[in-house]
A = this chain, B = another copy of it.
């Protein structure tokens, strides 16, 4: 499925088009149409790999992906989660020739790749576009850093509560959802051990704060969960 033409063919007509591209004129949009590739991948697929040369600008249209980093001691650390409309790998893009993280689909996903040099041309040729991109990248960094700083302040119960709230509000927008990642991945995302993730989830279930059924999680007591998220 890699490299198929985008179903909606022209970027100008794309329902997923990001606000970042709003400033492009007709000619520039046509350039974009010709320079991009549409991709659909299954859950588990690697979209790009840490250490590989950056050749494209990746825009996630549908699905969900994790940003993964290999730690010096051979473990894996999840840097963050990419949701639809995100430019994944945006951070590495301008600061390095290689990807700092791998990007792996955690749900069936669709994304567009735009040729790296084309984006550079657009930046140089369209000031408003450059400004939009600056704002976008700045925003993404800010969220990532602030989230990390927040997590660092909390102990494990607070972190687990945080991640449940995150998926409920930021990703799915409901109090009941299918957790797209394993316990082990939660652990990698918030820097703790699998056993403790499990233990704390069990505690939350025991206290009737959440309900767990297979991979489905339902928040029963949002107030209490929020309290734990803030006060640890």
A contact residues vs B (CB 8 Å cutoff): 69, 71-73, 75, 77, 79, 91-96, 100, 120, 123-128, 130-131, 133-135, 137-139, 141-142, 144-146, 148-149, 151-153, 191, 230-231
Contact = CB atoms under 8 A, between A and B. Distances in A.
Given A127-B123, A145-B148, A153-B71, A138 B100 contact: no
Given A73-B231, A137-B138, A141-B141, 14 more contacts: A72-B230, A91-B145, A94-B137, A94-B138, A94-B139, A95-B138, A125-B127, A126-B127, A127-B130, A130-B134, A141-B144, A145-B145, A151-B152, A153-B191
Contacts of A124: 127-128, 130-131
Contacts of A73: 153, 230-231
A125 B124 CA distance: 9
21 contacts: A72-B153, A73-B230, A73-B231, A75-B153, A77-B153, A91-B138, A92-B142, A94-B135, A94-B138, A94-B139, A96-B142, A100-B142, A123-B131, A124-B128, A133-B134, A134-B134, A134-B137, A137-B141, A141-B145, A148-B152, A151-B152
A25 to B, nearest CB: 15
A141 B79 contact: no
B77 A142 contact: no
Give the 6 A-B CB pairs with smallest separation, nearest first: A124-B127, A130-B130, A94-B138, A141-B141, A95-B138, A95-B139
Contacts of A137: 94, 134, 137-138, 141
Contact of A95 (B69, B120, B135, B230): B135
